[in-house]
Structure 1
C-alpha cells in the first residue's frame, strides 16, 4: 500500500491511497479538484473510490467536480448532508473497496464536527481534522466530552499506526505543545526535527500513534476537563 500527499490550498493534504503498485487510487477528502487531476495525470492512473471524513468545504469542494469524470463509490458520514456520498457509514462499520483487498473500519469521532469519521486499515488511519500531529482540530460542533472520547478511541490503535492528518499544522502545534508541557523532552526533540523538515519544504506527515502519545497534549489529556482547558487555551494561543 502506498499513500501520497496531494497538497491543496495553503496547508491541506488530500491523501491518495494506492492499494497496489500502479493501481488506481482512493482519494481522501478532495477539497480541491485540480490538484487531484494533476496528480492522477502525472501517475497515469484513475480513481477507484473517495473517502470523506466530514462536511467542511476544504474536504469536499472538489468531490462533485471529480465525480463528473469518475463514477465511483463515495464513502462518508451518515446524515445525507454531504452531496455525492453513496455509501454512508457509522461507527465500527467495516467495508472493502472494489479493487482493494484490505478491510477498512470506520470510527465516528465527533468533536471538530458532529459528523466526523475516521478510516482505519491495519497500519494506517486517515483522521481528517480530528487529530493533528501535536494537536487536534478546533471544537466547532462537538463537546469536550465527545472530542476527548474520540481522541482516546484513536489512541487505542497500535502505536505503529501511521496517522494521516489533513493539514500541515505540526510546527505551530508544537509551539503550543511546548507551552503546555515545557518539561517534555520528546516535544523538544521532535520540534527540532520538524523545524529541519519545514526549512527544507518537506512534510511532517504521516505521524504515528506512538509518537502522538509522546508529544500531543490533547491525546495525553487525562479527562474531558483537561482537554477542554487545553482546547480553550490553544484557541487563544
Structure 2
C-alpha cells in the first residue's frame, strides 16, 4: 500500500505549515516522498519544521508571511511559483477562530480580518496555484481545510466568522472540483473536529470546562491526534484519489454523528 501512496517527485505547498495540522500534513507528504514548501508567520517555527522535512531526505522551502493579509498572500503566491514552479499539491490550511467574541460585539473590521484569514487566503492561493497547475498541464490536488463548524455551530464560543468562512470554504471547494475536473485537478475539503493542536491545548488550559464539554460529545472520548490528519492528506494527494473530488471529509471522532 505504501507504493500506491508514493508522492516521489512531487512538490507540495502547505499554508500554515509550521505547526499543528499543517505541520503534520507537511511531514506526511515528505514521508511519502514529496518535497514541501511551507508558509506561516513565525520564521523560527518554519525553520524547525523545514529541518524535520529535510531530515526525511526531502527538499524544503520556507516562506514567512501573514496570510491574513490578501496583499501578502498575493505576494507569497508569486514568490512560491518563482521558487518551485507550480506545486502539484496545494493545501490551504491556514486559519483559526483566534477570538471569542459574540456576534453582537464583533467589530466589522475584525470580521473582515478573520474572513480574509479563513476564506480569502484560500481563494487567492487556489486561484493563483490553480492557474499555474492548469498552465503546467499535469493535473493537481487541492486540499482545503474546513471544519465541522462548517456544518454545526461551536458550543459555548463566539467568533462566528469562523463557522461562516468554513462553510464557504466547503462550497468553494465544490466549485473548484466542478470547474477544474477537466484539467485533472481534484479539490476536496477536510473537516476536522477537535484536535490536540497548540491553539486547542491553550484553549484547554484557559477554558478547561469548554473543552471538557466538547469532549463529552465526542464518541471516541478524546481529541484527535494531529498525525491522524496526515494520513488522510496523503491519500487525497495520491493517484488513488483521482476519482474523489468535491468531497467534504469529516474527521471528528464521531462528534457530528450525535
Q: Same fold by TM-score, threshold 0.5 exceeded? A: no
State TM-score, norm by structure 2: 0.39
State TM-score, norm by structure 1: 0.42
Higher share in helix: 2
